Amino acid sequence: MDKIIFIVLDGIADRPVNGKTPLSSASTPNLDVLAERGILGIVDVFKPGMRMGSDTSHLALLGYNPLKIYTGRGPFEAAGAGIEVKPGDIAFRCNFATLKNGIVVDRRAGRIKDGEILAEAISREIPEIEGVKILFKAGVGHRAALVLRGEGLSYQVMDSDPKREGHPIKDIKALDPKAEKTARVLNEFMKRAHEILSSHPLNEERRRVGEPEANVILIRGGGVAPKLKRFEEKTKMRGCVIAAATLVLGIGRFLGMDILHVKGATGGVDSNVKGKIEKAVESLEDYDFVFVNIKGGDEAGHDGNFEMKKKFVERVDEALEALLGVDAFIVITSDHTTPVNVKDHTGDPVPLLICGDGVRRDEVKRFTELEAAKGGLCRIRGRDIIPILMDLTGRSEKFGA
């Protein structure tokens, strides 16, 4: 047995509310079986107390050092949305959002799911600005990606996203004199996009039925294409990615991993979780390493919805029944904590479970934040997980004679 299914329950870890987290209060019979069969611990995804973005945390979990390779989230979002990010391109992550009288009242436009229609209109009507080619595509839900291609560009600009509702949208300003042109192009893009979106039939219909209109683009996370060692070259494992989130798909593409799609995978609490797990099991025939991102728990955490997060954990657990008879190493963890009482990422450690033939079992019988801390893996870093798996599967090289 030398194959691995690595599952990231995005943002599933939490802090206690009245003594319980969504994970610890949920009914999880299948996770309990996997916990009893394996070894558990807790993970500082990068280092204790450090709040991690989903981009840097996924890189760390896949064995990379974000401090050495990270160039911004934009390129990953763009690659995940299907834009080829070339050397010299500047890439940004974007949100469709709702603007009223200059104030951002909903950063996710009601978690709109029709972004492709709006993105096509923007892409068609704004092909270039000041000789800079504009590449804009929708991601999953309210997310999108923007790439600027041309001369004299720089990613050293401020974000337009105020990061909180009830605050005005920001003008983009250059952080370096070489970025003045980029700031101008981005501000002009936002202005034109706002005009296009405000009069789009889809938004007219959303206004009519009382839904938040997606009438503005928030821009953030600029960066250039990173130089990353291919995952297979680094680990000797042929890998694939099963995810809906464009960020995770983009990371997979930059690492040279194959992308596998699952019908009904949305990146939200309504995602086809069962289909993802079944696809992961099927993929073991062709791949050594199957990386699965399941994002709904993060959405519920950002929304501050304890009950939704608990119910999503139980949906995930039902899907995990398909893993109980699989002849492979099963790894389950999270990329960061998204507490419902914070509604954002925090630096708390996350639980980790590894089960498979040859794993030293401990006495822990539940996959929860506090129970995992009692496990035999103790407390490790996110970058430690891949080397541990390489050793368990006989792929690690001996140091010394």
H or E element at residue 220? strand 216-223
Q: What is the 3-state secondary structure (H, E, C) of 189-207?
A: HHHHHHHHHHCCHHHHHHH
pLDDT at 348 over 70: yes
Asked if 34 and 333 touch (Cβ cutoff 8 Å), the reply is no
Which residues 6+ apart lie within 8 Å of 204 measured at CB? none
Q: Which residues of 279-316 are buried (b: 16+ CB within 10 A; e: fewer)?
A: bbeebbeebbbbbbbbbbbbbbbbbebbebbbbbbebb
Neighbours of 60 (CB within 10 A): 27
pLDDT at 113 over 90: no
Average pLDDT over residues 250-260: 97
For the purposes of burial, counting CB atoms within 10 Å of the CB of 243, is it exposed (0-12), middle (13-18) or buried (19 or more)?
A: buried
Task: Write the pLDDT tens digit of every residue in 178-206.
Answer: 999 999 999 999 999 999 999 999 999 99
pLDDT at 141 over 90: no
Which residues face 13 on adjacent strands? Answer: 337
Task: Write the pLDDT tens digit of every residue in 267-289.
Answer: 899 999 999 999 999 999 999 99
Q: CA nearest 183: which of 222, 139, 144?
A: 222
To the nearest 10°, report the CA torsion of 85, 187, 302, 375: 40
pLDDT at 1: 60
Angle 246-254/74-81 helices, nearest 10 degrees?
Answer: 90
The domain limits of the chain are 4-70+228-392, 76-223
Average pLDDT over residues 294-313: 97
Neighbours of 38 (CB within 10 A): 25
Residue where the block lists tokens 């062709």: 286
DSSP 125: H
pLDDT-derived band at 140, boundaries 50, 70, 90: confident
Residue 62 structure tokens: 């896949």
Task: Write the pLDDT tens digit of every residue in 17-67.
Answer: 999 999 999 999 999 999 999 999 999 999 999 999 999 999 999 999 999
Average pLDDT over residues 1-10: 93
Max CA separation in the chain (angstroms): 73
Q: How far is CA 232 from CA 75, 101, 134, in A?
A: 21, 50, 33
pLDDT at 154: 95
pLDDT at 240 over 80: yes
Q: How far is CA 169 from CA 122, 194, 243, in A?
A: 19, 12, 31
Average pLDDT over residues 216-241: 95
The dotted CATH code for 4-70+228-392 is 3.40.720.10
Question: Rounded CA gap, 370 and 100, in Å?
Answer: 43
pLDDT at 221 over 70: yes
Phi then psi for residue 39, to 5 deg, are -125, 145
Asked if 370 and 351 touch (Cβ cutoff 8 Å), the reply is no
Average pLDDT over residues 119-143: 95
For the purposes of burial, counting CB atoms within 10 Å of the CB of 395, is it exposed (0-12), middle (13-18) or buried (19 or more)?
A: middle
Question: Rounded CA gap, 327 and 279, in Å?
Answer: 15
Task: Write the pLDDT tens digit of every residue in 154-172.
Answer: 999 999 999 999 999 999 9
Asked if 81 and 137 touch (Cβ cutoff 8 Å), the reply is yes
